[in-house]
Amino acid sequence: MASVASSPISFAASFLRTKPFPLSPRFLPIRTLRCALSSEPIEFDISFAPPKPTPSSPRGNTAFQQLFIPWIVRGEDGKLKVQSQPPAHLIHALADATTQNPKKKVKKKKPQASSSSSAVTSSSTSEPKLSKAARRYYNENIKEPPQRLSKVLAAAGVASRRTSEELIFDGKVTVNGSLCTTPQTRVDPTRDIIYVNGNRVPKKLPPKVYFALNKPKGYICSSGEKETKSVVSLFDEFMASWDKRNPGTPKPRLFTVGRLDVATTGLIIVTNDGDFAQKLSHPSSSLPKEYITTVAGDVHKRHLMAISEGTVVEGVHCVPDSVELMPKQHDIPRARLRIVVHEGRNHEVRELVKNAGLEVYSLKRVRIGGFRLPSDLGLGKHVELKQSELKALGWKS
């Protein structure tokens, strides 16, 4: 039993005469609703029927009944009544509020012409702005510091480092509009404006490349452009297709690491990395270099002893790391020697063999450090070196 106190109002009669509100099956319907109208507080006698069994289907065969929301409003006669629609003044107030505060519509950009679309694409793919801490870390740990002017010119493919120094001394190089005659001047090619003989040096330097070449006989290791049978000329086909494979990137200026005389064949490294070349060719690297030499005549123990004792080359007594007589092969009638040296002075192996009283018939270099010339690499052919092969040469990039 529930008791509710209120003023005697006449709307209750009409309210109670109505049928029970249609409710969702989820709610319990009101079975009985009785009320006595008097001046006394209104008393309701409400009882509930037991819940109906839940059908197997949520909706069953009957149509779904919507939830009825009653609105109690005061009519024109001053009496309260129940209706299913909200009052008119509330509808008008909601309409006015919606009109005064309309929702902002997000305008979608329509695709424009191809020129504008490319601009939108470039802006969307542009690199994000970095914080000050990120820029500081990049400048201190990743970005390359300013380099010598002569080194930058050589890396850009202008000329060799020595020729670049001559160009600087001759007053043919300007940096940011000012004449520069000091090769040691530190410059940043990405920011400084450098001109050589009126031609601007590109800001984007070519990537560093490394090759192993099987040098043929008759080719010299000079990088001079006038030399027709130079080792670098064997890369003409590679350089001719550079622009197609690397559009917008300057061509690298290739040169050999160390030298092999014109009559010597075999392994030689070709690159455009000056630091790499200096590291490998410097005597302090102590990289072992293995040669196979074919000699005329028979080789005896005394010849091997004489080679092992060494000889004077360029005023320095050079001793090989090892010398070995190789087994004979049926297709090679001449005797062959395997000689390993680490200094690699000019004509060192030839001088060692000559000092032992033997005549060199052919000479071929087959190994530098831990990298051996591939057996399937033909004469005049080259192969690009992998990172692991560079490590075998003792280079840590």
Catalytic residues: 261
CB atoms within 10 A of CB 73: 17
Distance CA(16)–CA(33), nearest Å, equals 7
Q: Which region, left, alpha or beta, applies to residue 72 given φ > 0 means left and ψ of -120 to 50 means alpha?
A: beta
Distance CA(26)–CA(255), nearest Å, equals 88
Distance CA(20)–CA(33), nearest Å, equals 9
Distance CA(164)–CA(158), nearest Å, equals 7
Residue whose structure tokens are 């190089």: 173
Contact 341, 303 (CB under 8 A): no
- For residue 126, give every residue at least 6 positions away whose Cβ sits within 8 Å of its Cβ, in sequence order, or none: none
> What 3-state class would DSSP assign to 153?
helix
DSSP class per residue in 283-304: GGG---EEEEEEEES---HHHH
Closest CA to 40 of 7, 79, 87, 69: 7
Distance CA(176)–CA(360), nearest Å, equals 56
Amino acid at 295: V
